[in-house]
Amino acid sequence: MDYRKSRFGQLAGIGILILGFVLSACSPRIIHEVTTETKIEYRDSLVYRDSLVKVPIPLEKDQAIVHIGDTSHLETSVAQSTAYIGGDGFLHHQLENKKGELSTVAKIPIHYLYTGVTTTTKETLTKEVKVEKSLSWWQKFRLGAFWWLVILSVGLLIWTFRKQVAALIKLII
């Protein structure tokens, strides 16, 4: 069996041709890379601070009923009172606040929130190197024609097997 006349032989020849184009082509690669890294830091804390707070005087009241000639003495947490009816028939009443302050310890929360953003950028640049000798016309042609030759080879391969490709498309559809 002659491989050049069979379908397998044609396919193998075209595959070797495409592989030859791919392996013989070269292209320069220019690398320019920029990497940016962003870190976001959150710190959330709650601190309680003891503090002395002055409070208003509490509302208190008291009452006493006594006979004539008796003395009435009343006292609350912040004041004391003494009252009596004298020989002249008048009510004598003395009210006196106690010395000192009312205070209590309160825990006051203090909320701290810190948000910090740190951005780091790394950049890789290519260095231009002067070449002693420029590319020949053949090297320039090979560099420029690589993709055209690949497209042409794939088109030629599809054209060669157009009946099989059409039957495969009909089978899929």
pLDDT in tens, 61-111: 777 777 777 888 888 888 888 888 877 878 888 888 888 777 777 788 888
- In a domain, residue 117? The reply is no
The model's pTM: 0.28
Q: Where are the alpha helices (DSSP H) in the chain?
A: 7-24, 137-160, 162-172
- In a domain, residue 87? The reply is no
Residues with Cβ within 8 Å of residue 85, at least 6 apart in sequence: 68, 69, 91, 92
Q: Is 83 helix (H, G, I), strand (E, B) or coil?
A: strand
- 171 DSSP 8-state letter: H
Question: Nearest CA to 109 among 56, 41, 45?
Answer: 45
- In a domain, residue 14? The reply is yes
Q: In the chain, how many domains are there?
A: 1
Tokens of 62: 């008291």
Could you tell me the residue range of the domain that residue 158 belongs to?
1-27+128-173
